[in-house]
């Protein structure tokens, strides 16, 4: 008889952010359930494809994207993780802070609820680079995820 052993959920949440969310998209199935739903800053992403879309957007902004895990709390099948994102956009270092609450099923993340300060990016970039970011979006050098402008799926 095979028994299922509960893995350390905080470690899985940490590795999901440090590895998959930092750009190793091929590792998404290692951490996220096929039925994964990601609620982040008013947008919703579904499945492994949705996770790839979300991460790809941040990687397009910050090719050197990296995360630090600042704090974690586990209760039952949920892990709350406070994180710091580090990246560079047009030679300007950017640091953003956020929190994600991950819900697990059989050792994989089935649902995330994440939030960041939506004004932190323009504050970090300054006025000129914020205008350049908008120009990059208009020119499609940076592709916004579905729902980024307020529409929901």
Residue 133 lies in a domain: yes
Structural domain contains residue 92:
yes
The pLDDT of residue 4 is above 80: no
Domain limits at 124?
9-138
Residue 101, in any domain of the structure: yes
pLDDT for residue 149:
59
Q: How confident is the model at residue 1 (pLDDT cuts 50, 70, 90)?
A: low
Q: For residue 147, is it within any domain?
A: no
* Residue 146 located in a structural domain: no
Please tell me what DSSP assigns to residue 41: T
pLDDT at position 2? 62
pTM, entire model: 0.86
Burial tier of 135 (Cβ tally within 10 Å: 0-12, 13-18, 19+): exposed
List the CATH number of the domain containing 123.
Answer: 3.10.450.50
Write the DSSP assignment of 103-122 as a string of letters. Answer: EEETTEEEEEEEEE-TTHHH
pLDDT digits over 20-50, tens only? 877 889 999 999 999 999 999 888 999 999 9
| Stretch among 5-9, 12-16, 138-142 having the lowest mean pLDDT | 5-9
Specify if 94 maps to a domain.
Answer: yes
Give per-residue pLDDT as tens, 77-135.
Answer: 999 999 999 999 999 999 999 999 999 999 999 999 999 987 899 999 999 999 999 99
Number of domains in the chain: 1
pLDDT value, residue 91? 93
> Does the pLDDT at position 153 exceed 60?
no
pLDDT tens, residue by residue, 51-66: 999 888 888 899 999 9
Examine residue 150 and state whether it is found in any structural domain, yes or no. Answer: no
DSSP assignment of 63-116, as one string?
Answer: TT-EEEEEEEEEETTEEEEEEEEEEEETTEEEEEEEEEEEEEETTEEEEEEEEE
Are the beta carbons of 80 and 101 closer than 8 angstroms?
A: yes
43 within some domain: yes
Rounded Cα distance between 82 and 107, Å, is 20
């Amino acid at each position: 008889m095979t028994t299922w052993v509960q893995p350390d959920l905080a470690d899985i949440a940490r590795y999901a952010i440090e590895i998959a969310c930092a750009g190793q998209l091929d590792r998404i199935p290692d951490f996220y359930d096929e039925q994964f739903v990601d609620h982040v800053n008013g947008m919703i992403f579904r499945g492994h494809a949705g996770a790839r879309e979300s991460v790809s957007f941040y990687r397009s902004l910050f090719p050197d994207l990296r995360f630090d895990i600042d704090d974690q709390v586990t209760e039952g099948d949920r892990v709350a993780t406070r994180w710091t994102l580090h990246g560079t956009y047009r030679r300007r270092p950017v640091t953003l802070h956020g929190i994600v609450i991950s819900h697990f099923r059989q050792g994989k993340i089935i649902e995330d609820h994440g939030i960041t300060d939506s004004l932190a990016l323009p504050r970090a970039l300054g006025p000129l680079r914020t205008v350049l970011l908008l120009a990059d979006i208009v020119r499609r050098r940076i592709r916004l995820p579905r729902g980024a402008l307020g529409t929901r799926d």
